[in-house]
Amino acid sequence: MKYLVEFIGTFFLVTTIGSVVIEPGAGALAPLAIGSVLMVMIYAGGHVSGAHYNPAVTLAVFLRGKCPAKDVLGYMISQVAGAALAAGVVLFLKDSPKLEAMKPDVIKALVAEFLFTFALCYVVLNVATSKKTAGNSNYGLAIGFTVLSGAFAVGSISGGAFNPAVAVGITVLGLSSPANIWIFLVANFGAAAVAASVFKLINPDDK
């Protein structure tokens, strides 16, 4: 069931991203919709799977010691599958629009994706996996607002994925070039590993 939850959450995240970004979309309010759907899906699925919806988050939680190794691949496959199917649904709903892939400055995009994926993973680890914040009811809001903030801050620079599954989704949609997917993979997974290390450095007794 937890793999299905990861699939569903990622599906609705990418469906929302594609629907609000591709015209007619939500314009300047797109990040609000994206952060909001992530928040509600976290509340919906957090008690079943942990509500990662993001291979980078899964890696961070694994490295932090709160995701069994046997679940990592299953989570990531479910997330990417949900994103890919969502992209197909959006293309159907939007009548297969002709889109021009963004042409980011590679260095700036790497930095932007790294910084806000780090922020996302750091927040997830602290609000959703720490013994000191166990039982809090605001974790979904904190995580959703991290993505919302990042999308507003650097969406125009990198596309604001902060998530390798989302990177797959926007690539299938044609919003990003296949040649640039490495930017997201390197920055997102690298940031996840650093976030896990920083969490363990700050919280050495939180095993």
Q: Does any domain span residue 174?
A: yes
Q: Does any domain span residue 207?
A: no
Straight-line distance from the first to the last Cα atom of the chain, in angstroms, rounded to the nearest whole number:
26
pLDDT grade for 45, boundaries at 50, 70 and 90? very high
Per the structure, the complete domain to which residue 55 belongs is given by 2-202
Q: Does any domain span residue 26?
A: yes
| CATH value at residue 124 | 1.20.1080.10
pLDDT, one tens digit per residue, over 130-186 is 999 998 989 999 999 999 999 999 999 999 999 999 999 999 999 999 999 999 999
Q: Does any domain span residue 47?
A: yes
pLDDT on residue 38: 98
Q: Does any domain span residue 196?
A: yes
Pull the structure tokens for residue 170.
Answer: 């926007």
Q: Does any domain span residue 179?
A: yes
Q: Using CA atoms, how far apart are residues 20 and 173, in angstroms rounded to an integer? A: 13
Tell me what the mean pLDDT of segment 1-10 comes to: 98
Per DSSP, the residues of 148-174 read: HHHHHHHHHHH-S--SHHHHHHHHHHT
Q: Is 102 helix (H, G, I), strand (E, B) or coil?
A: strand
pLDDT on residue 207: 82
pLDDT on residue 165: 98
pLDDT grade for 123, boundaries at 50, 70 and 90? very high
Q: Does any domain span residue 50?
A: yes
Pull the structure tokens for residue 146.
Answer: 């991290």
Domain count within the chain: 1
pLDDT > 70 in the chain, percent: 100
pLDDT on residue 98: 86
pLDDT on residue 197: 98
Q: Does any domain span residue 40?
A: yes
| Helix ranges (DSSP H) in the chain | 2-21, 30-49, 55-64, 69-93, 106-128, 139-158, 164-173, 181-202
